[in-house]
Structure 1
Amino acid sequence: MAVGAARGENAAREEKALREMTNRLVDDYGEAHPPERVEAVVGAVRKRFEGHAVRDFVPILVERIARRELDPKRSKNSAGQVDSSKSEPVAANGESDSPDGHGADTTSVFAAVAGRFVPARLVENKRVLGVAAAGVAAVTALGVILAVQQSDSPSDGGTAAPALTTVRGVVGSEKSAFFDDPKVVDALGKHGLEVDVEPAGSRQIATSVDLGKYDFAFPSSSAAAERIQRQRGVSGKYVPFSSPMAIATFKPIADLLTQAGIVQTGATTTFDVEKYLSLAEKGVQWTQLDGNTAYSVPKNVLVSTTDPRTSNSAAMYLAVTAYVANDNTIVRGAKAEDYAVSRVSRLFTRQGYTESSSDGPFKDYLANGMGTVPMAWIYEAQYVDAAVHNQLKPDMVLMYPKPTVMSQHTVVPFNDKGDRLGKLLTTDPDLQRLAADHGFRPTDVSLFTKATAAHQVPVDPNLVNQVGPPDYDTLEHLLDGVAKSYN
């Protein structure tokens, strides 16, 4: 009974701390994001820590990750530093150890240090947590961590572990969860690397991000990578994994579109882009679909995308729809470009506000249901990753557009450190396996099929009906044409 009561009190304290933290983030980011968006980000981040036995540091870690996702321009803190954002992290009991209530407590320091240097299995070590709970100073905590880490590694005659080399990069936002994974951090650390990433839309990376302060860029397509290579005058690149584009929806929506002849069900669910384009061009609304009682909303039948001016996933949507609009032919030449833009630009402009990267719409899909996002254009990897980490609801459905396009996640190294990382991500068996666990299709596709089979995720491992994206210059012209349509 006493144990159960203690657990209940701890859970209540954690909920209180998370509520207070969420309110703080809403206040801090109110000008940039609506409250619903902030709550969705917090909810999605919190789910990453479900099942962890040690709960003391969960509110702190959730806040750190959520702040980075809500404000991608803010750099991660260096190893061992406390979060320097304007609001102080709060432990599960909602209190601070400093006399005035504003200084960082030793638990926060320990959590910040542990998150950078210690594998997940060591963070749960009771002896280490006991040291932190006793209020040992940050320097002492760091010494204990390093000592435990050394004793846990294989004996090598007393040779100290090599210092980690920090590699800084800017990555497509859909890869944030991969680089945040403690197992990935551990696998990279075994090779002497500490990877510090900032998320951004892939087209943002290629067009507006200052790349001079990074060792590598990791956009989500070969087209964006090619533009970066041209700008930086580099030729090297690595493609450690890929992901086809897909549509995340809900069973009632899939059933409605099946009746409309757009969706076909089977071992996997497919979405006919040509029939969809014909319907969307007519401006058909959900309320006009025959037999619609499940989603009677006076909105256009549209797939929700990101902003094509900043995000690669929207550029891939443009590549697919332009191909279909051009009589199922790759777009070439000014005449074909103008014709395709005239047919598909309304698929974007009628959506209203769109996010700059793919992470936002998918988190809205997970958190808010079909009332907000009935259909979301995503990377297959995002859906598979959510399924592997038990974030999906029973009525959620993955649809493959016919045709689809494969997005090649491409590392562009700017120096030797970036080259070393790109090579590791492409060749290291552990990192390839972890990429599959996050839903990506690594160079060894069998790792992907094994991961999806283990979690019973219905995917199409072959995807015969694919189109190649247009060449770099054509895609840029298409994107410019759609961008002009917003004015």
Structure 2
Amino acid sequence: MAVDTVREEKAIGRLTDSLLDTYRDIHSAERVEAEISVARQRFAGNPVREFVPILVERAVRRELEPDTASVDTASVDTASDDTASDGAAADAIAAPVPERPVPGQRAATRAVPLSSRRNAILLGGAAALVAVVVVSLAAREPAPVAAGGGSALTVVRGVVGSEKMPFFQDPRVIDALAAHGVRVEVEAAGSRQIATSIDLAAYDFAFPSSAPAAERIQRARGITTKYTPFSSPMAIATFQPIVDLLTPAGVVKPGATPTIDMARYLELVRANTEWAQLPDNTAYPVRKNILVTTTDPRTSNSAAMYLSIASFVANDNAIVQGTPAEQAVLPTVAKLFVGQGYTENTTEGPFQEYLTSGMGASPMALIYEAQFVEATARGQIKPGMVLAYPSPTVLSKHTLVPLRGGGDTIGRLLTDDPALRELAARHGFRTGDAAQFASATRGVPLAAELIDVVETPTYETLEHLLDGVTKSYN
């Protein structure tokens, strides 16, 4: 089976699971699967397969979406969120949202397309994972629960970027929080989903993976408080044969921690260069464009951070400001995403494909540095797998926005508690203490100090760029 066909089959499988969960309350599984089959048949025999999952999703959603005028508002206010299992790490990858979620707009039948398989990570209790947590939106304050020893723990609920789920699942984190009298239940979603389409009424805190996403939440809810307990630079997970192939092409600068020259990489993207066109390419002679695999920029923070890097380089190494600059860089940066075809909502998707499917499916995948640390600790990094850093890169600043008092407690603990800071470093997050980070991640080939780091554009500029990329999908 061809590589592209393998990716399409996986994407259709994930799409099927997502749509079954999203419409389970209003359509039978047979109806959903039938619509997917009919939509897919429209593209049978088409040699260009990259966009088939996207087109199938759009067609099926058009058929299955009910009339919003007849929606029962009670069902909207008591909906749950869509997450999918990740296996060894967090069972919490958020499902796709409708084509272009509009800030403040609710889905037709539920505030968020949440799964019946929703998993909550219970911090401070004996069990680390509890399936199917039903949250009453009438509960506006954290509820006290009895711990195993009889003392009461305060339950605090949050929605977080999926890359932080292993941290919140860690029994050591559970115990550290329980020592302060709290138990945390968290659910995972793409950071832009958290900021744009998830109903936050059920949560005590939102913990997206970037400052711009957090700022959007703050503006929408009139909140001034925020906490940034740690950060993680964007990185690229690749393979040694790809490093060896791209080095003579001027894209990779080898070293203990290789770097990706983004300026040279963008030159190849602008020219629609295929892997097979690289000179003396026997390692990966594939006739598809040289592109880093990312998440969907319409829903995911990691893709927005990648957009920040690419727009800076495309703008002659300057942060994009103003409409003329935005319009000038859009043709280049849009190619980075649209050319990939179907993309997922969280970095767990492309990173799991990198870990399990190998070089054929995903020769370069955009991830958070912390994910590589987690995978190394779990023994999932095999010989020949390489972590590289875009040059320049950006720091994804994980920013917690407290929505109620319990969320403020968690923000303060993650920022100030020494035990939780050390555990964050062990999970690959940079807390600002370089010595602590180096000690906690000893043995993992990471950059000890990042020098070539740029800032993200302003909130407004990044939104304009993301809107421009979104339009290019259509």
Common fold by TM > 0.5:
yes
> Which of 183, 187, 208 is the equivalent residue of 2:176?
187
Following superposition, the deviation at residue 444 of structure 1 comes to 2.4
Tell me how far 1:343 sits from its aligned partner. 1.7
Query: Are the aligned partners of 2:269 and 2:291 in contact in 1 as well (CA < 8 Å)?
Result: yes
Query: What is the CA–CA distance in structure 2 between the aligned matches of 1:32 and 1:386, rounded to whole Å?
Result: 30
Deviations 1:353-411 (A, max 9, x none): 00011111111111111111110011111111111222101110000111000110000
What secondary structure does 1:443 align onto? coil
Unaligned runs of 5+ in 1: 1-24, 35-40, 49-64, 81-112, 119-144, 151-160
Structure 1 residue 79: Cα displacement: 7.2
Tell whether 2:238 aligns with 1:249: yes
Query: Which residue identity lines up with residue 342 of structure 1 in the other structure?
Result: P
| TM-score, normalised with respect to structure 2 | 0.73
- Distance (whole Å) between structure 2 residues aligned to residue 216 and residue 331 of structure 1: 31
Q: 1:197 Cα shift?
A: 0.8
Question: Is the partner of 2:231 in helix, strand or coil?
Answer: strand
Match of 1:45 among 54, 77, 87: 87
Instruction: Select which of 104, 110, 114 maps to 1:73.
Output: 114
Query: C-alpha deviations, 1:80-114, integer Å up to 9, x for none?
Result: 9xxxxxxxxxxxxxxxxxxxxxxxxxxxxxxxx84
Q: Identify the residue that residue 468 of structure 1 maps to in structure 2.
A: 455
Partner of 1:420: 409
Aligned counterparts, 1:224-303, within 5 A: 224-303=213-292
Of 299, 320, 328, the residue aligned with 1:310 is: 299
Summarize the alignment of residues 65-104 of structure 1 with structure 2, pairs less than 5 Å apart: 66=91, 68-69=92-93, 73-74=114-115, 75-76=118-119
- Which protein has the bigger helix share? 1
- Where do 1:19-418 residues align within 5 Å? 29=17, 45-46=87-88, 66=91, 68-69=92-93, 73-74=114-115, 75-76=118-119, 114-116=126-128, 150=149, 162-418=151-407
**1:398-445 alpha-carbon deviations (Å, 9 max, x no partner):** 001110001100000011100000000111111111111111111323
CA contact (8 A) 1:388 1:437 kept: no
Instruction: Report if the CA contact (8 A) 1:76-1:196 is conserved.
Output: no
Q: Which has the larger radius of gyration?
A: 1
C-alpha deviation, 1:256, in angstroms: 0.4
- SS of the aligned residue for 1:345 comes to helix
Looking at structure 1, the residues matched to 283 and 416 of structure 2 have their Cα atoms a distance apart, in angstroms, of 47
Cα distance in 2 for partners of 1:481, 1:374 equals 27
**Segment of structure 1 superposing worse, 197-206 or 179-188:** 179-188
1:480 equivalent in structure 2:
467
Do 1:218 and 1:411's aligned partners in 2 also have CA atoms closer than 8 Å? yes
Q: Amino acid of the residue matched to residue 173 of structure 2?
A: V
C-alpha separation in 1, matches of 2:212 and 2:435:
26
Q: How many residues align?
A: 367
Where 2:151 maps in the other structure, the secondary structure is coil
Paired amino acid for 1:45: G
Cα 1:32–1:323 change in 2 (3 A) is farther
Q: Match of 1:457?
A: 444
Distance change >3 Å, CA 79–CA 249, structure 1 → 2: closer
Deviation at residue 331 of structure 1 after TM alignment:
0.5
Q: What letter is aligned with 1:376?
A: A
Match of 2:434 among 445, 452, 471: 445
Query: Which residue identity does 1:73 align to in structure 2?
Result: L
Q: 1:364 & 1:117 partners in 2: Cα distance?
A: 24
Structure 2: gaps (5+ residues): 1-12, 22-32, 34-83, 96-112, 131-145
**TM-score, normalised on structure 1?**
0.71
Separation in structure 2 between the aligned mates of residue 356 and residue 116 of structure 1, nearest angstrom: 24
CA contact (8 A) 2:119 2:129 kept: no
Equivalent pair of 1:426/1:443 in contact (CA under 8 Å) = no
Deviation at 1:301, TM superposition (A): 0.4
Cα 1:400–1:325 change in 2 (3 A) is: same
- Looking at structure 2, the residues matched to 451 and 116 of structure 1 have their Cα atoms a distance apart, in angstroms, of 23
Cα distance between partner residues in 2 of 1:359 and 1:78:
17
Change (3 A) 1:222 1:289: same
